[in-house]
Amino acid sequence: MIPFDFEYYKPATVAEACETYRTLQEQKKSVVYYSGGTEFITLARVNQISADAVIDLKGIPEVQVLEMQGDQFIVGSAVTLNQIAESRLFPLLAQTVRGVADHNSRNKITIGGNLGSRLSYREGVLPLLLADCKVRVAGGMKGEGERVVSLSDVFDKQLNLEQGEFLLQILVDKEYLDLPYVHLKKTKQSKVDYPLVSVAALVKDKEIRMAFSGICEYPFRLGEIEEVVNNTTFARKEQLKQVVGKLPAAILDDLHGSAGYREFVFRNVVQETIDALEWAQK
């Protein structure tokens, strides 16, 4: 049971959602966009989040889309992780999200919720960062318009949308869907756990692209790391040392794994990934 009262709205259109948000804002109410709701309920139950109102986006048809449209793979933000995993239209994304939480939870967790999570892992974003995808965003305080932007423009460490905006759809070009790929997730003990290290990688134009979660405070893709990974003049040991040196933030050091252990796992995972994709570089 959630210990505080809030208003619940489930709009049927983007325009209704935008109008509802603005009206609630004018009434000085705090508003949370809601989709799968697993994180909201978990945090609200223990008073770590509060809201005067939630706007449930699941009734908007555009956020439920999961299909090819021309040369683009379209994923609505309220599509569940299991729907993505089962569709296998983008195998790397399917495999990556299949590693998030447990099967029952993935029947509720949505890709939009995963990208906007307060937790640091947000593994669903890794393949999307590699695929140079775009996102369609709606809402905001200025009008009811939608905008299409590169994911990298609105995702830096976390999803950074403007006030009142919400993620409507993710757009992935067809050319990225069937590229050679690897996803590895290492946990401390249990299969269902937060990652010590999670890596998604694919090969585009004979270059390996890699994005990581779990090793630092936020998920990331870094060109400097990819330069080292694709530099075949390095001996492997030196290559791994260089990759560790390029990490954008301190290695996480917590109950799930010490920094030293995570670094050890990270080196192994990077090596395993390069080994698995070397054939596709030739």
Binding positions for other proteins, rule: CB under 8 A: 1-12, 16, 20, 37-38, 41-42, 44-45, 54, 56, 58-59, 82, 98, 101-105, 107-108, 191-192
Decide whether 9 or 176 has the Cβ nearer to other proteins.
Answer: 9
| Shortest distance in whole angstroms from residue 61 CB to other proteins | 14
Residue written as token pair 């917590």: 254
Cβ atoms within 10 Å, residue 193: 15
| Shortest distance in whole angstroms from residue 104 CB to other proteins | 4
Query: Largest alpha-carbon pair distance within the chain?
Result: 62
Decide whether 10 or 157 has the Cβ nearer to other proteins.
Answer: 10
CA neighbor of 199 nearest in space, from 86, 117, 87, 275: 275
Using DSSP bridges, classify how beta strands 158-159 and 155-156 pair: parallel, antiparallel or unpaired.
Answer: antiparallel
- Report DSSP state, residue 254: B
| Shortest distance in whole angstroms from residue 56 CB to other proteins | 6
Decide whether 42 or 231 has the Cβ nearer to other proteins.
Answer: 42
Decide whether 190 or 233 has the Cβ nearer to other proteins.
Answer: 190
CA neighbor of 251 nearest in space, from 215, 199, 218, 219: 215
Decide whether 39 or 226 has the Cβ nearer to other proteins.
Answer: 39
Cβ atoms within 10 Å, residue 261: 14
Decide whether 83 or 169 has the Cβ nearer to other proteins.
Answer: 83
For residue 135, how far is the Cα from the chain centroid? 12
129, 92 contact by CB (below 8 A):
no
- Residue 220 belongs to what H/E stretch? strand 220-221
| Shortest distance in whole angstroms from residue 83 CB to other proteins | 10
Decide whether 192 or 249 has the Cβ nearer to other proteins.
Answer: 192
CA neighbor of 138 nearest in space, from 114, 159, 169, 108: 169
| Shortest distance in whole angstroms from residue 39 CB to other proteins | 9
25, 164 contact by CB (below 8 A):
yes
CA neighbor of 198 nearest in space, from 141, 135, 142, 272: 272
| Shortest distance in whole angstroms from residue 36 CB to other proteins | 8
CA atoms of 59 and 3, how far apart (whole Å): 25
Using DSSP bridges, classify how beta strands 53-56 and 72-76 pair: parallel, antiparallel or unpaired.
Answer: unpaired
| Shortest distance in whole angstroms from residue 49 CB to other proteins | 12
| Shortest distance in whole angstroms from residue 37 CB to other proteins | 6
Decide whether 59 or 91 has the Cβ nearer to other proteins.
Answer: 59
